[in-house]
């Protein structure tokens, strides 16, 4: 007994000195067994061979115990085929979701089960499942089997977009009949979405109606083929910058998804004419098509698509394609149902293409047309479009340098129901041409927009008889550097019924030009944007508010550095319906904010004080009293307020979105 006690004590001491044990055995431990051990203070070191022998004996005994211990049964030992049959018989969506959390293997197998196979398994289950008495009681209407919303929509963006997340999403949504709308925008850099994740969605979502794949470089034709087989109800397909998708994938979609109504393809270098031909041949319900920046799409693909879908195709958008006049001729002849046409950067389409498209007389229902950076748009083409498109209501021309005043004059003679004209960077159009257009335009014309048109500038002498355009309601003259007070005064006199005015970026306009427009407006201005009009002062704003305070709902004065608290005093006194006010980079101060806060009748929804250097922490109490109507408050670059005051303001205005 004594020798055993000494041996244990010595072993503990040696292990402590070697780092195997942090505490050596106390002397009292041996006294519990033998009094002689207490008296013996000398410790005998245990030989290394004895320790090794003890360790070897321990390992041998443990190994022998493992050999005699029976192995625990595990489902992981089953092959995939057997485990697949088990998992497809899991009855509820909650249980399938829990099973998907077991391992990646289980998740992959659950993702490979089609919804129809789950239905067969449920029908095959004759014996009803026994209730689990350990679960909490759940009302019938609260069970997860009842869909919370009829449309299951999911979006994956950036690093969140992986196969695992997509498969899990498909498995969980399977309890509600699967996903109906799915958008994948971007992909994880190392574990991005592949055909495997898309296949899981296709197998578990037979009712998928909308699919968008943006910047998903690992998706191939195989993934689209799975969608074509598993999602026959697909109606909208949007594929952008997916380089591995080719005509083969589009052919599969065309054959499997005959209900397709909208197709968008952008930046897919593998897509060519054959895929579009198949879409047109098989998808008789196609209503909208958008093809952008696909280098291998040519006249054959566009022509075949338009010819086949002539009865239903209503919206066409073509951008950056290697097509010629032939494609536009086909659109002009077969586009009998087209109502919206957008053509952008078609460098190889000439004047003849636009002329033939119009003269084919097939675009009888065309209502909206937008053309950007197409050198074929000339005065002759514009005249033909107005003559042979009798339903045209809206025309937008951007960077069309061959359009001049003569083209506008010819256009307005034939456009009888025209309502909206937008010109951007059409530098051959002058103010004389615009005045002539307003003199001859139809009584339905309501909106005019001139943006970055360098030809719009002051004229030496105004026409002897100025036109009067009482139908114009919306006027935008933006970033036209030659447009000054004289031109604005003329516009104000000929447009007495304006409701919305956007003069942003007109740095040369002063109070002298704005006041005539304010005074001549009879209908009552509703929205006024003077952003960047750095020469506008409190005089013009006070006149604007006094004349139209009862109708004004939105005023933007961003960058008007001469606007002070005097304007805010008039706004607080006269404005009744004002909901949005932008004072960014103005010279307003705490006093002006206090004035706005004191106007109880003023129900602002959005207020911007960004960059107002004179607004300090003294304004915080007044901002907090702006009322329950405030939804947005911009305090960016207001360095004198301080982060602490912003935090207190966020606590008080907890319902308001504050930018700081």
* 63 pLDDT tier (thresholds 50, 70, 90): low
**343-359 tens-digit pLDDT:** 999 999 999 999 999 99
The answer as to whether 369 is a domain residue is yes
Percent of the chain whose predicted confidence (pLDDT) is above 90: 63
Percent of the chain whose predicted confidence (pLDDT) is above 70: 76
Look at strands 420-424 and 474-478 and give their pairing: unpaired
The answer to whether 437 and 461 are in contact (CB under 8 A) is no
pLDDT at 28 over 50: no
Q: Which two tokens stand for residue 623?
A: 């901002």
The answer as to whether 201 is a domain residue is no
* Domain boundary residue, one of 386, 411, 436: 411
Higher pLDDT, 279 or 16: 279
Residue 479: how many CB atoms within 10 A of its CB?
17
pLDDT at 55 over 80: no
The answer as to whether 355 is a domain residue is yes
The answer as to whether 352 is a domain residue is yes
The arithmetic mean of pLDDT across residues 447-466, rounded, is 82
The answer as to whether 401 is a domain residue is yes
**556-612 tens-digit pLDDT:** 999 999 999 999 999 999 999 999 999 999 999 999 999 999 998 999 999 999 999
Which residues neighbour 136 within 8 Å (Cβ) at sequence distance 6 or greater? none
> Which residue is listed with tokens 């289980």?
106
CA separation, residue 31 to residues 3, 5, 46, 558 (Å):
12, 9, 20, 90
CATH code for position 638: 3.80.10.10
* 627 pLDDT tier (thresholds 50, 70, 90): confident
Give the pLDDT score at 85: 66
Q: Tell me the average pLDDT of the chain.
A: 84
pLDDT at 109 over 80: no
> What's the distance, CA 376 to chain centroid?
33
CA separation, residue 651 to residues 632, 638, 645, 647 (Å):
14, 18, 10, 6
**371-403 tens-digit pLDDT:** 999 999 999 999 999 999 999 999 999 999 999
* 178 pLDDT tier (thresholds 50, 70, 90): confident
Give the pLDDT score at 62: 65
- Tell me the residue range of the domain where 556 lies: 524-659
* Domain boundary residue, one of 385, 411, 437: 411
The answer to whether 158 and 185 are in contact (CB under 8 A) is yes
The answer to whether 472 and 495 are in contact (CB under 8 A) is yes
Q: What is the largest CA-CA distance in the chain?
A: 132
The arithmetic mean of pLDDT across residues 262-285, rounded, is 96
| Cα gap 296→345, rounded to integer Å | 15
| Cα gap 365→298, rounded to integer Å | 25
What total number of domains does the chain contain? 2
The answer as to whether 562 is a domain residue is yes
The answer as to whether 121 is a domain residue is no
What size, in residues, is the chain? 660
Which residues neighbour 198 within 8 Å (Cβ) at sequence distance 6 or greater? 166, 219, 223, 224, 226, 227
pTM, full prediction: 0.79
| Cα gap 317→170, rounded to integer Å | 32
Number of H helices, E strands in the chain: 26, 20
| Cα gap 503→407, rounded to integer Å | 25
The arithmetic mean of pLDDT across residues 23-35, rounded, is 41
* 76 pLDDT tier (thresholds 50, 70, 90): low
The answer as to whether 627 is a domain residue is yes
* Domain boundary residue, one of 364, 392, 411: 411
């Amino acid at each position: 007994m004594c020798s055993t006690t000494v041996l244990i004590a010595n072993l503990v001491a040696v292990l402590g000195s070697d780092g195997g044990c942090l505490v050596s055995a106390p002397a009292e431990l041996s006294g519990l067994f033998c009094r002689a051990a207490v008296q013996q203070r000398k410790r005998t070191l245990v030989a290394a061979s004895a320790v090794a022998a003890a360790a070897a004996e321990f390992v041998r005994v443990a190994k022998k115990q493992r050999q005699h211990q029976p192995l625990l049964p595990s489902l992981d030992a089953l092959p995939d085929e057997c485990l697949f049959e088990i998992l497809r018989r899991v009855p509820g969506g909650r249980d399938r979701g829990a099973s998907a959390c077991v391992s990646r293997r289980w998740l992959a197998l659950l993702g490979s089960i089609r919804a129809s196979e789950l239905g067969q398994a449920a029908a095959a289950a004759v014996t009803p499942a026994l209730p689990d008495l350990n679960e909490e009681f759940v009302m019938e209407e609260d069970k997860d089997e009842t869909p919370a919303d009829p449309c299951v929509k999911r979006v994956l963006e950036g690093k969140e977009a992986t196969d695992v997340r997509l498969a899990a999403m498909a498995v969980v949504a399977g309890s509600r009949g699967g996903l109906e709308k799915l958008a994948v925008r971007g992909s994880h850099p190392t574990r991005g979405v592949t055909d495997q994740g898309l296949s899981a969605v296709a197998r578990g979502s037979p009712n998928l109606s909308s699919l968008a794949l943006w910047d998903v470089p690992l998706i191939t034709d195989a993934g689209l083929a799975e969608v074509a087989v598993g999602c026959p109800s697909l109606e909208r397909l949007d594929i952008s910058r997916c380089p591995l998708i080719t005509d083969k994938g589009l052919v599969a979609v065309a054959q499997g998804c005959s209900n397709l109504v909208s197709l968008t393809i952008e930046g897919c270098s593998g897509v060519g004419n054959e895929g579009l031909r198949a879409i047109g041949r098989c998808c008789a319900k196609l209503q909208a098509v958008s093809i952008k920046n696909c280098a291998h799409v040519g006249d054959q693909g566009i022509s075949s698509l338009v010819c086949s879908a002539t009865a239903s195709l209503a919206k066409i958008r073509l951008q950056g394609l290697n097509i010629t006049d032939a494609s536009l001729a086909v659109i002009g002849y077969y586009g009998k149902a087209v109502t919206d046409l957008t053509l952008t950067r078609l460098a190889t389409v000439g004047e003849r293409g636009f002329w033939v498209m119009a003269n084919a007389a097939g675009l009888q229902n065309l209502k909206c047309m937008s053309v950007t950076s197409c050198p074929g748009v000339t005065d002759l083409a514009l005249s033909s479009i107005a003559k042979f498109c009798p339903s045209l209501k809206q025309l937008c021309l951007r960077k069309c340098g061959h359009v001049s005043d003569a083209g506008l004059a010819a256009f307005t003679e034939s456009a009888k129901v025209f309502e909206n004209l937008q010109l951007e960077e059409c530098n051959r159009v002058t103010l004389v041409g615009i005045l002539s257009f307003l003199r001859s335009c139809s009584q339905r014309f309501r909106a005019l927009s001139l943006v970055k048109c360098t030809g719009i500038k002051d004229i030496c002498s105004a026409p002897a008889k100025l036109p009067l355009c009482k139908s114009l309601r919306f006027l935008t003259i933006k970033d036209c550097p030659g447009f000054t007070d004289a031109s604005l005064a003329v516009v104000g006199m000929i447009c007495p019924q304006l409701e919305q005015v956007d003069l942003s970026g007109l740095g040369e306009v002063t109070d002298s030009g704005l006041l005539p427009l304010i005074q001549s407006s009879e209908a009552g201005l509703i929205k006024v944007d003077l952003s960047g009009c750095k020469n506008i002062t409190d005089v013009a704003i006070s006149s604007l508010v006094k004349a139209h305070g009862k109708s004004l709902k939105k005023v933007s004065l961003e960058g008007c550095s001469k606007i002070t608290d005097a304007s805010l005093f008039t706004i607080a006194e006269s404005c009744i319906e004002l909901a949005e006010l932008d004072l960014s980079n103005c010279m307003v101060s705490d006093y002006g904010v206090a004035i706005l806060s004191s106007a109880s009748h003023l129900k602002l929804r959005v207020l911007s004080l960004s960059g107002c250097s004179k607004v300090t922490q003294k304004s915080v109490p007044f901002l907090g009293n702006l009322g329950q109507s405030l939804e947005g408050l911009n305090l960016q670059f207001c360095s004198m307020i301080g982060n602490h005051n912003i935090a207190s303001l966020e606590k008080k205005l907890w319902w308001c979105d504050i930018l700081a």
